[in-house]
Structure 1
Amino acid sequence: MTTGRRRAVLGAALVVALAGTACASDEPDRSAPTAAVSSTAPSTPTGSPALGSAEEIARGLDVPWGLAFLPDGAALVAERDSGRVQRVTPGRAPEPVHQVSGVVARGEGGLLGLAVAADYAETRYVYAYLTAADDNRIVRFRPGEPQELVYGGIAKAGNHNGGRIAFGPDGMLYVGTGDAAESARSQDPASPNGKILRLTPEGAPAPGNPTPGSPVLSLGHRNVQGLAWDRAGTLYAAEFGQNRWDELNRIEPGRNYGWPVVEGAGGADRGFTEPLLTWTTAESSPSGIAIAGDTVYVAALRGERLWTATLSAGDATNPVDFLRESYGRLRTVAVAPDGALWLTTSNTDGRGDVRAGDDRILRFPAR
């Protein structure tokens, strides 16, 4: 294994190279860089979240998926199946503020990621990734006003729709997509599927991308649902494996992360970029990730726990799990402007065991 790579697994360290497709790793039985991306290190709240001090701030939500903070500290939360966006503020009941039109919620599709514009104070734009009748697409809107298409043509399927979007420290819009159950798309540079895309706020390929005129930042991904940056401006992504290994990757422009030729580590001798960490799919099935200080937080669906790892010099070490089987499936994790960690459950998504009050949002205050 390449120096600095670590496995966060308890089983045998068997590297499996796979080709072709299978159903989502979340529930397997159920259905070299050519350009540098300039960035400025994002601000990082001081302190670390107190994972032993959970505060429930919302409950009764319909498959909460995307979550993005407003400048005042409140959050906008996307409900996957209803297409509704709710405003969530600690101490107050969730408030519906927008209905995204055109959402077709089937399988893993629906209203997925949310992102607040980098210049929200001026534009008031909110961006959403959704599954529509014919594709996955990105729209933007001002709450209560008609939406406009930003980027479309991302193939859809019952699973592997990706869906996470976030504005990077460079002001560009980053998009995690899935292979839409056809793994060959991940290695096709002309397809937006199985990629991390980098777009301008208007939806055009961002300047400085590895291939001029292409939105593709990196390829060879299976299903990316987690994006986050560290204090140095380095991008990390979480990725669902097929049947064996889930991944945490450091994303570099133009790199190929191996799917479907490689699942997990073991592809370096074929030109693929190795993951920083891997987990068995039963331990993780990672969706959202967040970074606070030198710690990355990974929300696990099938694993029903929150993973943490230490980031240093572009590497990730010392994986530790918290909240194992405490709240069920965990979808999205995010660091609020005040340094608190917000975490959403995903037990009403058709694969979880629904508990009284699901789905909910938990807050862990900064120490």
Structure 2
Amino acid sequence: MQRRAVTAVLAAATLLLTAGCSSDDGEDWGGGKSTSPDSSESGASAPASGQAAEETPPAKGSVKVVRTVTEGLKTPWGLAPLPEGGLLVSSRDEGTITRVDEKTGKKTELGAVPGVAPGGEGGLLGLALSPSYASDHMVYAYFTSDSDNRIVRMQYDAKRPAGEQLGAPDTVFRGIPKGTNHNGGRIAFGPDKMLYAGTGETYVTELAQDKKSTGGKILRLTPEGEPAPGNPFDSPVYSYGHRNVQGLAWDTEQRLFASEFGQDTWDELNHIKPGGNYGWPDVEGESDDSKYESPIDQWSTDEASPSGIAYAEGSVWMAGLRGKRLWRIPLKGTEESADPQAFLEGDYGRLRTVVSAGGDKLWLVTSETDGRGTPGDGDDRILELQVK
């Protein structure tokens, strides 16, 4: 494994500056490495652990902003491109889903998701479309309720009036621990048509190592919310030892990668293996202990604080909140990458979600209105990017 994030000297300096005052999304909410909320912010079974790494096509090397798709979004979080055209975007704090016409930027509210209880980093978070969307028009959403984090699905009917286009929610999975922060929230259907969900440990750090808890995990479920066939522990848990996972993406070899917030020292990009233990709270970043999986790359928390990730043109693209930049991580295999590159540093503020738009295009969602940014005219927005 190569380490390219920062030098040890810089890491030590960063630790001294941020220990006890860092939050995942990058602002001082107090606390330290305690369990208090006042501390830091898509058929067949998935590839088996130990699968031989295959050659990845040469990665394209840069990215440019093609245009601003739309502006004036409030606390956007999840993004789901529709096959018929349009982008569904969730509002964390308003609990609504809006369709954005990707050609004109016009916004149409589908409706509010019942039961959403926003607060801190919780609210209406990730979105995903059913693998059978063409026939069932089901939209899946991960949200924080009064009692837990849960996943629901709703039928989307564009023929109904604006504000009334979401059917009644059907709860697919409930009981994921909730907290002021560290609620995870990213959901995606994998190439195996199973539903994956990244969860957080809600500052109760011991949950991450407890395989009976769904906190601090990546879950793998059937579309109906049952533990997916082939899961390593005969439960919903696919991997564990996570602090707060908000990014999930697969490459062309169907390998799963996930981004993870560190505490004060290292943010991570991990290759996810069934049953893998990713170390938290015993390890942050790379470990010499073979029982823990080490990241394929790591960053100081002020450079990243990563939320969404996407795969395009041979690289994983990672949106940084506190880092206010888009990272490109060219894949060399499953256990290492070529040197990461940063783009758009400070140009659009905090970056929440990045999604493949097919081929060499990406959708990128900013996050300046989430209570930790400095919103300006037009915030928040969706951008169209081209990988060059």
TM > 0.5 fold call? yes
Q: Is the 8 A contact 2:60 2:314 kept in 1?
A: no
| Deviation string, structure 1 residues 287-321 (Cα, Å, up to 9, x no partner) | 00000021110000001000101012213221010
Change (3 A) 1:201 1:140: same
Counterpart selection for 2:215 from 171, 193, 209: 193
- Aligned-pair distance for 1:92? 3.4
Counterpart selection for 1:259 from 280, 302, 311: 280
**Is the partner of 1:6 in helix, strand or coil?**
coil
Matched, 1:302 2:311: no
**C-alpha distance in structure 1 between counterparts of 2:96 and 2:375, whole Å:** 20
- Segment of structure 1 superposing worse, 102-111 or 90-99: 90-99
Change (3 A) 1:102 1:216: same
Change (3 A) 1:81 1:241: same
- Aligned-pair distance for 1:269? 1.9
- Aligned-pair distance for 1:338? 5.4
**C-alpha distance in structure 2 between counterparts of 1:121 and 1:242, whole Å:** 41
Q: Is the 8 A contact 1:49 1:339 kept in 2?
A: no
* Amino acid paired to 2:140: Y
Aligned counterpart, 2:5: 8
- Aligned-pair distance for 1:6? 2.4
**C-alpha distance in structure 1 between counterparts of 2:223 and 2:66, whole Å:** 35
Number of equivalent positions: 351
Q: Is the 8 A contact 2:11 2:265 kept in 1?
A: no
Aligned counterpart, 2:199: 177
- Aligned-pair distance for 1:93? 1.0
Aligned counterpart, 1:120: 133
Aligned counterpart, 2:107: 94
| 1:54-133 correspondence to structure 2 within 5 Å | 54-90=66-102, 91-133=104-146
- Segment of structure 1 superposing worse, 276-285 or 8-17: 8-17
Q: Is the 8 A contact 2:79 2:89 kept in 1?
A: yes
Aligned counterpart, 1:218: 239
Q: Which has the higher contact order (CA 8 A, sep 6+)?
A: 1
Aligned counterpart, 1:153: 175
Matched, 1:320 2:341: yes
Aligned counterpart, 1:27: 26
**Is the partner of 1:186 in helix, strand or coil?**
helix
* Amino acid paired to 2:73: L
Aligned counterpart, 1:204: 226
Q: Is the 8 A contact 2:194 2:223 kept in 1?
A: yes
* Amino acid paired to 2:154: F
Q: Is the 8 A contact 2:116 2:144 kept in 1?
A: yes
**C-alpha distance in structure 1 between counterparts of 2:360 and 2:134, whole Å:** 21
Structure 1, gaps ≥5 residues long: none
* Amino acid paired to 1:37: A
Change (3 A) 1:22 1:159: farther
| Deviation string, structure 1 residues 96-124 (Cα, Å, up to 9, x no partner) | 11321111110000000000011101111
Matched, 1:51 2:60: no
**C-alpha distance in structure 2 between counterparts of 1:366 and 1:249, whole Å:** 22
Structure 2, gaps ≥5 residues long: 30-37, 39-44, 49-55, 157-165
- Aligned-pair distance for 1:73? 3.5
- Segment of structure 1 superposing worse, 243-252 or 47-56: 47-56
**C-alpha distance in structure 2 between counterparts of 1:325 and 1:74, whole Å:** 27
* Amino acid paired to 2:6: V
| Deviation string, structure 1 residues 223-277 (Cα, Å, up to 9, x no partner) | 00000000000000000000111000000001100000011112x3251010111
**Is the partner of 2:254 in helix, strand or coil?**
coil
Change (3 A) 1:54 1:299: same
**C-alpha distance in structure 2 between counterparts of 1:6 and 1:50, whole Å:** 21
- Aligned-pair distance for 1:70? 1.1
